Amino acid sequence: MLGLALLAGCTTSVVEGPTPEVRATAAPLGDGVLRIGTLMPQTGAFAFLGGAQTAAVSLAIADINAAGGVNGKPVELIAGDSGDATSTTAETSFADIVKKGADVVIGPTSSVLASRLIQPAVTAGVTMISPAATYPDLTTAKDDGLFFRTIPSFELQGTALAQAVSAKGTVKAALVYVADDLSKSLVEPFRREMSALGSTVSIEQPIPPTATDLSKQIAAVVASKPDVVVLSSAYSTFDLTKALITQLIGAGFSGAKLWLTTQNTGDYSQAFPNGTLNGVNGIIEGVQPDDAFIGRLKAVDGSLTTFRYAPEAYDATILAALAATVARDDSGRAISRSLRDVSRVGIKCTSFAECVSVSAAGDELDYDGLSGEIDFTSQGDPNRSHYGLYTFNGENKFVYAGTIVTR
C-alpha cells in the first residue's frame, strides 16, 4: 500500500467505458539507472574473502548488461571497501557509495558489519544483500524490509550437521560447543534433527570461552560414549579451538570421528603437525563453485585463489537486477518489495537473460542461480540452506567432498 508521502508521485489515467474508472499508478522512484555498490573486505583480516565476491558482482553486472541491462539502461558498479569490524571503513565506504547513487549494496561479508550498516541502509532507502553474513540475529533485525542474504543463518547448520553425521545410519553424537551466542544457536536444531533421524545426542557439552583446563569437559564427553563428536567454536577463540581439537583427538576422536563447523573449518596446515587432522570432517555454508564459474571469475581477476561466497554474491546481484526489472523501478525500496517474488514465485529460470524473457512474456519468474534455490522468506533469509562438506587431508587442509541441502 502506498504511504501518504508517495501520493504525490502517482499518475492518474482514465479508462474509457460506460462508467469512467480512475486508477492510481505509482511513478518510479528511481532515476532510471540501476547502480549496484559492493561492500567487500579489500583490506583487513578478511581481505582474502573479498576478491572473489567483488569479481562475482562484476561478472554478474557484465552478464546483465550483455542481456540489455535493466529497463533499457546499463547497470553501473560502485565499488567500496568494508575493511573489518575493528575499523569504521565500512561506514565511510557505505556513505560514499550512497552519495554516488547506489540503489543496492551487495555485502558486507561480515555479520558484525551487516548489523552496523542496517540502520544507515534504512535511512538511505538502500537495499542491502549480504552473500556471507550468517549471524542469527540478522533475521529479526529492524531493517524495514531492506536487508536480505543469500547465505543461510548460522544455526541452520545444526540441521545439516545432524543429517551429515547420520548419513550412513543412526549414530550417537556428542556436541561440544564454546558457550557463546553463535554456537548456542545451533544446539536446538542439531538436537531436533538428530531425534527426527533416529540418532541420539550423547551429551551437549558447553565450554566457557575463557576455559584453560578442559579435562573435566573432555572426560564427560568420553564418558557419554559417542560415535562421533561435533565441535562448534568461532574464529575469535582460535587458541581454545586448537586446544579442543588436540584433546578430542587425543581422547580417541580422530579422523572421521570428529566434525568441525562453519566457523572452525579452515586451513590448519601451520597450526598442527602434518596428519593431525587427516580424515576429520568439516562443513562450510554456501555452494562450492564449479570449474566453469571459477574460470570466469579468474578472467575478471587473475589473482584469485579462493572463491568462497562468490556464487552467493553473483546471485545477489542478478536477483537485485531482476527485482528492478519486474518493478520497473531501480529504487532501493522498489527492489526490496520485488526480491521475494523473483526468488520464489513463477516459472523457474537460471540466468538474467532467461528470466527477463519469462517476465517479458507476462509470466512470473523464479530465479534459481549458481547458489541453487533461494526462495527468500518474509524476513529476507534463503528458505533453503546449502552447505559444502569437506574432509581434511594429510597437510591439515580441507578438501571439498560433497554438498548437503536442507530446508
In this structure, the answer to whether residues 49 and 109 fall within a common structural domain is yes
pLDDT of 8 = 30
Supply the pLDDT for residue 235.
Answer: 75
Neighbours of 42 (CB within 10 A): 18
The DSSP H or E segment spanning 298 is helix 291-300
Residue 16 has pLDDT above 50, yes or no: no
β-bridge pairing 147-149 and 127-130: parallel
Residue 291's H or E segment, with its range, is helix 291-300
> Which range among 9-18, 151-160, 275-284, 346-355 shows the weakest confidence by mean pLDDT?
9-18
pLDDT by residue (tens digit) across 258-294?
999 999 999 999 999 999 999 999 999 999 999 999 9
Q: Is residue 317 part of a domain?
A: yes
The pLDDT > 70 percentage for the chain reads 93
Residue 80 lies in a domain: yes
pLDDT at 160 (0 to 100): 96
Domain membership flag for residue 196? yes
Alpha-carbon span 301 to 371, nearest angstrom: 20
**What is the arithmetic mean of pLDDT over 339-361?**
96
Same domain, yes or no, for 193 and 305? no
Q: C-alpha distances in angstroms, 102 versus 9, 58, 367?
A: 21, 15, 23
Sheet holding 172-178, edge to edge: 200-207, 172-178, 228-232, 258-260, 281-285, 385-392, 398-406
Residue 6 inside a domain? The answer is no
- What does the pLDDT average to over 341-370? 95
- Residue 142 CA: distances (Å) to CA of 113, 163, 358, 378: 15, 32, 33, 13
Determine the Cα–Cα distance for residues 174 and 162; give it in Å rounded to an integer: 11
The model's confidence at residue 330, banded by pLDDT at 50, 70 and 90, is very high
Q: Are residues 200 and 319 in the same domain?
A: no
Three cell numbers written together for 275? 596428519
CA-CA distances (angstroms) from residue 84 to 49, 90, 262, 266, 365?
A: 11, 7, 19, 19, 36
Whether 147 and 167 map to the same domain: the answer is no
Structurally, how many domains does the chain consist of?
2
Local confidence band at 234 (pLDDT 50, 70, 90 cut-offs)? confident
Does any domain span residue 139?
yes
Contact yes or no for 277/392 (Cβ under 8 A) = yes
pLDDT confidence bin for 9, thresholds 50/70/90: very low
∠ CA 96-99-102, rounded to 5°:
95
pLDDT (0 to 100) of residue 23:
34
Confidence tier at 236 by pLDDT (50, 70, 90) = confident
- pLDDT bin (cut points 50, 70, 90) of residue 33 is very high
Considering the domain architecture, whether residues 148 and 175 belong to the same structural domain is answered as no
pLDDT classification of 22: cutoffs 50, 70, 90: very low
Sign of the torsion formed by the C-alpha atoms of 44, 305, 321 and 149: negative
**Structural domain boundaries, residue 356:** 35-152+289-376
Residue-level pLDDT at 24:
37
More confident residue, 28 or 157: 157
Question: Over the range 110-147, which residues count as b (16 or more CB within 10 Å of their CB) and which as e?
Answer: bbebbbbbbebbbebbbbbbbbbbbbbebeebebeebb
CA angle 120, 28, 33 (to 5 degrees): 70
The DSSP H or E segment spanning 400 is strand 398-406
Tell me the pLDDT band of 26, cut-offs 50, 70 and 90. low
216 and 180 share one domain: yes
- Which of the 8 DSSP states describes residue 335? H
pLDDT in tens, 163-173: 999 999 999 99
Q: Is residue 221 one of the residues assigned to a domain?
A: yes
3-state secondary structure of 24: strand
For the residues 99-123, what does the mean pLDDT come to?
Answer: 97
Residues 313 and 345 in one domain: yes
Average pLDDT estimate for 45-70: 97
pLDDT digit string, tens, across residues 42-53 = 999 899 999 999
State pLDDT tens for residues 166-225: 999 999 999 999 999 999 999 999 999 999 999 999 999 999 999 999 999 999 999 999
Question: In whole angstroms, what is the distance from residue 143 CA to residue 148 CA?
Answer: 9
In this predicted structure, what is the pLDDT of residue 7?
27
DSSP 70: B
64-83 average pLDDT score: 97
Q: How confident is the model at residue 249 (pLDDT cuts 50, 70, 90)?
A: very high
> 169 and 207 share a domain?
yes
First to last CA, the chain: 31
The residue among 136, 89, 97 whose CA lies nearest residue 113 is 89
DSSP string, 73-95: B--EEEEEE---TTSSHHHHHHH
Instruction: Report pTM.
Output: 0.90
Q: Are 391 and 267 found together in one domain?
A: yes
What is the rounded CA–CA span in Å between residue 27 and residue 11?
Answer: 7
10 part of a folded domain? no
- Whether residues 273 and 327 share a domain: the answer is no
Task: With respect to residue 9, please indicate whether it lies within any of the assigned structural domains.
Answer: no
Q: Kindly state whether residues 299 and 215 are assigned to the same domain.
A: no
- CA 179/CA 193 separation, integer angstroms: 20
Residue 337 and residue 188 in one domain: no
CATH no. for residue 102? 3.40.50.2300
